[in-house]
Amino acid sequence: MATPQLQVLQSSPPSLSLSSLKTQFLKFRHRLESCPTTAQLKRYQSLFIRLGLSADNNAMGRIIKFCAVSPNGNLDYALQVFNTIPDPDTFVYNTIMRGYLQSQLPRNCILLYLQMLEEYEEPNNFTFPSVIRACCVDNAIGEGKQVHVHILKFGFAADGFSLNNLIHMYVNFQSLDEAKRDFDKMPVQDLVSWTTLITGYSQWGLVDEAFEVFELMPEKNSVSWNAMIASYVQSNRFHEALSLFNRMRAENVVLDNFVAASMLSPCTVLGALEQGKWIHRYIEKSGHELDPKLASTIIDMYCKCGCLEKAFEVFSSLPDKGISSWNCMIGGLAMHGKGEAAIKIFREMRRKMIAPDTITFLNVISACAHLGLAEKGRYYFRYMIDIHAIEPRKEHFGCMVDLLGRAVMLEEARKLIDEMPTSPDAGVLGALLGACKIHGNIELGEQVGKRVIELEPGNSGRYVLLSNLYANAGRWEDVANMRKLKNDRGVKKAPGFSIIELEGVVNELLLGEGLILMLKPFMSNLMRC
């Protein structure tokens, strides 16, 4: 490869003593660290060359570092400088590797590491983390294992930074046994290694194994608590998440934004309003910044727990509202039948020149459905497609079918389904089936009902709905056949349940024979309140 021509001033080095040369270099090196642009950097590079430092790894390495890894840098120019250095050292190689990694070029990073070894330049503890991460991103399993051998060969078996990256690499490759083996061999297992292992087990659905590791931790910080709580939340094990959070509070662990955001999801799903309020108050008192994502999560929690006034209070207090905050508020109002208020918020959003997205229109059409505003719903559906060029998803079609069904426009709803660009799912057809049942359209309901059952043969509700449609028409033989089909397929109806939050504790009550006995203690407590 020909050496690129650099646009710098070439001249003979001045006659300077070693101490003067060092002083000059240090002076310009400190200026270089705060250099604002590549153009300014090239001027400093010219000065280094005039000082006779064009082949100096320390001086040229500073230029390369700026170009390769700084936000104002230029990786291509860093590579040009790199190619002019006759004997680049480990620092220079490491810097280019970091640059490749930041530029999403993991394969180049791995190849440069191989080139470094071919040039007999020995890696150090700053080399391996970049190469390991590159192997993870590139899914280079074979190369990753070779790097593991090199870590041992070059004497870095006790380097925590490299070993933590190795654990992360094996987790990424789903080699959890290998990750655990490396973890057990670590001379010192720090918080990073423990948390990496917890996250690794969680990532592949081994939540109970993750909890076992969590319990073995000699010391826990907010990051490890959040990793375990997030593991439960992502696996929809909300009761365990809430229980662990209560334990975290009892142990007076400092709550950060990540834990707060993770815990608001279980509060939302379980309807744990008091727990959600406590988290919100804690965030306010601790002075944590209410970023757009966290604010949206709080608004969503209040809306889904039925506390619309509090949701609107949080929404109104936000100085800068992101699209997710607007969506949560519009969706929350629509969910509780406040369609007019939802549409009013949408209009305010448009006045503020906030561009709506697919979720916005889904919530607005839902608001129109709750109000029975078929004409307005049609308008917003077309407005989404024609003005904002947003392709409707199955959820939008399902919402439109629900809207038209409520307005007794069943034939138009059927036509809309037939015009869908993709095959309708059970959600879309189920909306039409429900409308047919309500309005007594037996012929269309039977056609749609059979399609829905074939799409979701294990959903007991679909059989019940079509059976009820037959019953309303007095077709008792078809009712019996539908029940027989359900029983023959072994479809069971999931037991109903209620969730009650009492004194900050969420209790799930299953409907069944012991319901009255289960309710007695709660009723007694409620009477005392």
The string of DSSP codes covering 419-457 is: T-SS---HHHHHHHHHHHHHHT-HHHHHHHHHHHHHH-T
Q: Between the CA of residue 390 and those of 348, 427, 438, what are the distances in Å?
A: 20, 21, 32
Taking only the tens place, the pLDDT of each residue in 295-304 is 898 999 999 8
Judge whether residue 390 has pLDDT over 70. Answer: yes
pLDDT tens digits, one per residue of 106-159? 999 999 999 999 988 889 989 999 999 999 999 888 999 999 999 988 888 778
Provide the pLDDT confidence category of residue 249 given band limits of 50, 70 and 90: confident
The 8-class DSSP code of residue 389 comes to -
Residue 386 has pLDDT above 90, yes or no: yes
Check if the beta carbon of residue 257 is closer than 8 Å to that of residue 294.
yes
Under the banding of pLDDT at 50, 70 and 90, the label for residue 10 is: very low
| Domain coordinates in residue numbering, the chain | 392-494, 497-529
Burial of 328 (0-12, 13-18, 19+ CB in 10 A): buried
398 DSSP assignment: H
Q: Which two tokens stand for residue 81?
A: 């400088």
Least trusted range by pLDDT, from 187-191, 227-231, 429-433, 443-447: 187-191
DSSP 3-state percent helix, strand, coil across the chain (nearest 5)? 70, 0, 30
pLDDT tens figures, 316-363: 988 888 899 999 999 999 999 898 999 999 999 999 999 999 999 999
Give the C-alpha distances (Å, rounded to integers) separating 465 from 93, 118, 408, 448, 459: 68, 71, 18, 11, 11
- From the CB of residue 438, how many other CB atoms can be counted at a distance below 10 Å? 15
Separation of alpha carbons 327 and 331, rounded Å: 6
Q: Worst-scoring range by mean pLDDT, 10-14, 43-47, 95-99, 454-458?
A: 10-14
Sequence-distant (≥ 6) Cβ neighbours of residue 65 within 8 angstroms: 95
Residue 422, judged by CB atoms within 10 A of its CB (0-12, 13-18, 19+), counts as exposed
Interior CA angle at 408 toward 403 and 411, to 5°?
A: 90
How many Å apart are CA 214 and CA 193, to the nearest integer? 11
CATH of domain 392-494: 1.25.40.10
The per-residue pLDDT for range 264-292, each reduced to its tens digit, is: 888 888 888 888 888 888 888 877 677 78
Three-state DSSP class for residue 236: coil
Token couple for 105: 């070029």
For residue 288, give Cα distances in angstroms to 17, 298, 507.
55, 14, 30
Q: b vs e for 379-399, b when ≥16 Cβ sit within 10 Å of the residue's Cβ? A: ebbeebeeeeebebebbbbbb
Give bridge partners of residue 498 from the DSSP assignment: 509
